[in-house]
A and B are shown apart, each in its own frame.
Chain A
Amino acid sequence: MAHPLPSVPETRSNATFDALMWALSRPGLIRTLPEPGMDGLIDALIDSECRVHTDDETLARQIARTGAEAVPIAAADHVFLTAFPDAAPLDHLSLGSDLYPETGATLILPARIGSGSRLRLTGPGVDGEESLRIDGLPANFWTRRRALIRYPMGFELFLIDGTSVVGLPRSTEVELL
Chain B
Amino acid sequence: MAYVATRGGERAIEQSQRLYRAEMGAITPERVAETRRALPYLIDRLMGEASLYDEDLAALALAQTGGELYEAVLLLRAWRTTQPRLQVADPVTQDSLLTHRRISAAFKDIPGGQILGPTLDYSHRILETAVLSGETHSPDPVTPADTPAPAQHPSVAAWQADNDLLTAPEPDRTTGNDIPDVTREPLLFPAKRAHTLQSLARAETGGVLALGYAAQRGYGQAHPTVNELRLGEAEIQVRHPRGTMFSAGRVKISTAEVVSKQGAELGLGFSATLGWNEVKVIAAATLDLNADGAEKGSPTEEEFFLYHTEGVESSGFCNHFKLPHYVTFQSSLDAMRDAKAKKAQQTRTPEPAE
A and B touch in their complex, CB below 8 angstroms: yes
Q: Roughly how many angstroms separate A58 CA and B67 CA in the complex, as a whole number?
A: 53
* A49-69 vs B, Cβ < 8 Å mask (1 yes, 0 no): 100000000000000000100
Which residue of chain A is the closest to B184 with respect to CB atoms?
A49
Residues of B with C-beta under 8 A to A67? 177
Q: Is B185's CB within 8 Å of the partner chain A? A: yes
Q: Roughly how many angstroms separate A165 CA and B108 CA in the complex, as a whole number?
A: 72
Q: Roughly how many angstroms separate A48 CA and B85 CA in the complex, as a whole number?
A: 11
Q: How large is the interface on A (under 10, 10 to 19, 20 to 34, 35 or more residues)?
A: under 10
Which residue of chain B is the closest to A47 with respect to CB atoms?
B184
Residues of A with C-beta under 8 A to B184? 49
| Distance between B322 CB and nearest chain A CB, rounded to angstroms | 27
| Distance between A142 CB and nearest chain B CB, rounded to angstroms | 34
| Distance between B308 CB and nearest chain A CB, rounded to angstroms | 23
Q: Roughly how many angstroms separate A87 CA and B129 CA in the complex, as a whole number?
A: 82
* B229-256 vs A, Cβ < 8 Å mask (1 yes, 0 no): 0000000000000000000000000000
Which residue of chain A is the closest to B181 with respect to CB atoms?
A49
Q: Roughly how many angstroms separate A143 CA and B184 CA in the complex, as a whole number?
A: 38
Chain B residues 140 to 191 lying within 8 A of chain A, measured CB to CB, are: 177, 184-185
| Distance between B20 CB and nearest chain A CB, rounded to angstroms | 21
Residues of B with C-beta under 8 A to A48? 177
Which residue of chain A is the closest to B188 with respect to CB atoms?
A100
* A146-157 vs B, Cβ < 8 Å mask (1 yes, 0 no): 000000000000
Q: Roughly how many angstroms separate A49 CA and B177 CA in the complex, as a whole number?
A: 9
Residues of B with C-beta under 8 A to A49? 184-185
Chain A residues 85 to 102 lying within 8 A of chain B, measured CB to CB, are: none
Q: Roughly how many angstroms separate A48 CA and B177 CA in the complex, as a whole number?
A: 8
Q: Roughly how many angstroms separate A49 CA and B183 CA in the complex, as a whole number?
A: 12
Residues of A with C-beta under 8 A to B185? 49
Which residue of chain B is the closest to A48 with respect to CB atoms?
B177
Q: Roughly how many angstroms separate A48 CA and B84 CA in the complex, as a whole number?
A: 13
| Distance between A52 CB and nearest chain B CB, rounded to angstroms | 15
| Distance between B187 CB and nearest chain A CB, rounded to angstroms | 14
Chain A residues 19 to 68 lying within 8 A of chain B, measured CB to CB, are: 48-49, 67
Which residue of chain B is the closest to A102 with respect to CB atoms?
B186
Q: Roughly how many angstroms separate A69 CA and B92 CA in the complex, as a whole number?
A: 26
Which residue of chain A is the closest to B178 with respect to CB atoms?
A69
Q: Roughly how many angstroms separate A142 CA and B185 CA in the complex, as a whole number?
A: 34
| Distance between A1 CB and nearest chain B CB, rounded to angstroms | 12
| Distance between B229 CB and nearest chain A CB, rounded to angstroms | 36
Residues of A with C-beta under 8 A to B177? 48, 67
Q: Roughly how many angstroms separate A48 CA and B185 CA in the complex, as a whole number?
A: 12
Q: Roughly how many angstroms separate A49 CA and B182 CA in the complex, as a whole number?
A: 12
| Distance between A66 CB and nearest chain B CB, rounded to angstroms | 12
Chain B residues 240 to 293 lying within 8 A of chain A, measured CB to CB, are: none
| Distance between A7 CB and nearest chain B CB, rounded to angstroms | 14
Q: Roughly how many angstroms separate A49 CA and B184 CA in the complex, as a whole number?
A: 8
Q: Roughly how many angstroms separate A104 CA and B259 CA in the complex, as a whole number?
A: 42
Q: Roughly how many angstroms separate A67 CA and B184 CA in the complex, as a whole number?
A: 14
Q: Roughly how many angstroms separate A11 CA and B184 CA in the complex, as a whole number?
A: 23
Q: Roughly how many angstroms separate A111 CA and B177 CA in the complex, as a whole number?
A: 35
Q: Roughly how many angstroms separate A67 CA and B177 CA in the complex, as a whole number?
A: 9
Q: Roughly how many angstroms separate A168 CA and B177 CA in the complex, as a whole number?
A: 32
* B206-243 vs A, Cβ < 8 Å mask (1 yes, 0 no): 00000000000000000000000000000000000000
Which residue of chain A is the closest to B177 with respect to CB atoms?
A48
Q: Roughly how many angstroms separate A120 CA and B184 CA in the complex, as a whole number?
A: 40
Which residue of chain A is the closest to B186 with respect to CB atoms?
A102
| Distance between B86 CB and nearest chain A CB, rounded to angstroms | 12
Q: Roughly how many angstroms separate A23 CA and B126 CA in the complex, as a whole number?
A: 69
Chain B residues 94 to 150 lying within 8 A of chain A, measured CB to CB, are: none
| Distance between A106 CB and nearest chain B CB, rounded to angstroms | 17
Which residue of chain B is the closest to A100 with respect to CB atoms?
B188
| Distance between B11 CB and nearest chain A CB, rounded to angstroms | 16
Q: Roughly how many angstroms separate A48 CA and B181 CA in the complex, as a whole number?
A: 12
| Distance between A50 CB and nearest chain B CB, rounded to angstroms | 12
| Distance between A99 CB and nearest chain B CB, rounded to angstroms | 10
| Distance between B168 CB and nearest chain A CB, rounded to angstroms | 30
| Distance between B81 CB and nearest chain A CB, rounded to angstroms | 15
* B182-208 vs A, Cβ < 8 Å mask (1 yes, 0 no): 001100000000000000000000000
Q: Roughly how many angstroms separate A167 CA and B184 CA in the complex, as a whole number?
A: 27
| Distance between A45 CB and nearest chain B CB, rounded to angstroms | 15
Interface residues in chain B, defined as those with a beta carbon under 8 Å from any beta carbon in chain A: 177, 184-185
Interface residues in chain A, defined as those with a beta carbon under 8 Å from any beta carbon in chain B: 48-49, 67
For this complex, 4 residue pairs linking A to B, each with C-beta atoms less than 8 Å apart, are A48-B177, A49-B184, A49-B185, A67-B177
Sort A-B residue pairs by CB-CB distance and give the 4 closest, nearest first.
Answer: A48-B177, A49-B184, A49-B185, A67-B177
